[in-house]
């Protein structure tokens, strides 16, 4: 299972929110690059980079931070937040993203998202399946759609999607543990997807459980920043998994 630390960006700084609420913003570092370098120094190969300004503005904003991290580390970066147009996508890939995550656009403009899968390939386009209750949420998690999680994932699996980042918004940033039952059910219904668990990771002990369940990756945010999970633990986990 891939270990994928998260860096969320507001005003170019490394921040975390609780349940996606911008009023709960806590800044952890003025230098996302230094944070990324610390991850890399502990054997981590992947990074989940989220443009929260972009999510709110509905277009890419923090692409310069992406460019700096991509050029000064060897981390493989998946980038999301506010990607709404072919131009946003072009900028993200030109600035060094290995993959991009489509969120709101999947609901609002499915034709555009499907064209991205066709033109860039399923290995570079991730489905962002962020949910509240059983419904897919959009617009920086400010709106809830009518799409049910399992049916939503099934639809895009049929369109060629392989990678799915599944975030339980009610758990995100709360350090209360991930939604094991939801992931288990999703993998039972769609065993061929590469499921990346996100939201609520709070202790190291949860990671082997997610791996045993069949998750392809897990995104860890606040648990790292609040020292609930140490980078040395993640380094050892990665070494023992290889």
Active-site positions read: 8, 130
- In the numeric block, the tokens 């989220």 are attached to 50
Q: How far apart are CA 204 and CA 230, in angstroms?
A: 8
Alpha helices, DSSP H only, in 58-109?
63-72, 86-94, 104-108
Closest CA to 171 of 142, 132, 136, 211: 132
Residue 234 tokens read as 């993640």
| CA nearest to 5, candidates 216, 220, 164, 199 | 220
Can you read off the two tokens belonging to residue 71?
A: 């050029």
- Give 48's strand partners: 6, 78
CB-based contact 135:148 (threshold 8 Å): yes
Strands (E), 19-162: 21-29, 46-51, 76-80, 99-102, 125-132, 135-138, 143-148
- Which residues, 6 or more positions from 201, have their beta carbon under 8 angstroms from its beta carbon? 177, 178, 207, 218, 219, 220, 221, 223, 229
């Amino acid at each position: 299972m891939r270990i994928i630390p998260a860096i969320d960006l507001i005003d170019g700084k490394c921040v975390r929110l609780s349940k996606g609420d911008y009023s709960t913003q806590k800044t952890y570092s003025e230098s996302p690059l230094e944070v990324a370098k610390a991850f890399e120094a502990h054997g981590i190969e992947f990074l989940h980079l989220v443009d929260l300004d972009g999510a709110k503005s509905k277009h890419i904003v923090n692409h310069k931070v992406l460019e700096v991290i991509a050029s000064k580390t060897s981390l493989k970066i998946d980038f999301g937040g506010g990607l709404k147009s072919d131009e946003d996508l072009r900028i993200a890939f030109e600035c060094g993203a290995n993959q991009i995550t489509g969120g709101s656009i999947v609901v609002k403009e499915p034709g555009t998202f499907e064209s991205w899968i066709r033109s860039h390939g399923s290995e570079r386009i991730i489905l962002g399946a962020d949910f509240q209750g059983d419904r897919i949420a959009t617009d920086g998690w400010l709106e809830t759609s009518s799409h049910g999680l399992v049916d939503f994932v099934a639809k895009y699996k049929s369109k060629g999607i392989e990678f799915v980042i599944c975030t339980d918004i009610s758990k995100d940033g709360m350090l209360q543990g991930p939604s094991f039952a939801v992931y288990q059910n999703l993998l039972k219904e769609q065993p061929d997807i590469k499921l990346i668990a996100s939201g609520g990771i709070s202790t190291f002990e949860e990671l082997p459980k997610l791996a045993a369940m069949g998750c392809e990756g897990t995104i860890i945010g606040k648990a790292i920043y609040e020292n609930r999970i140490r980078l040395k633990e993640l380094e050892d986990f990665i070494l023992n998994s290889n």
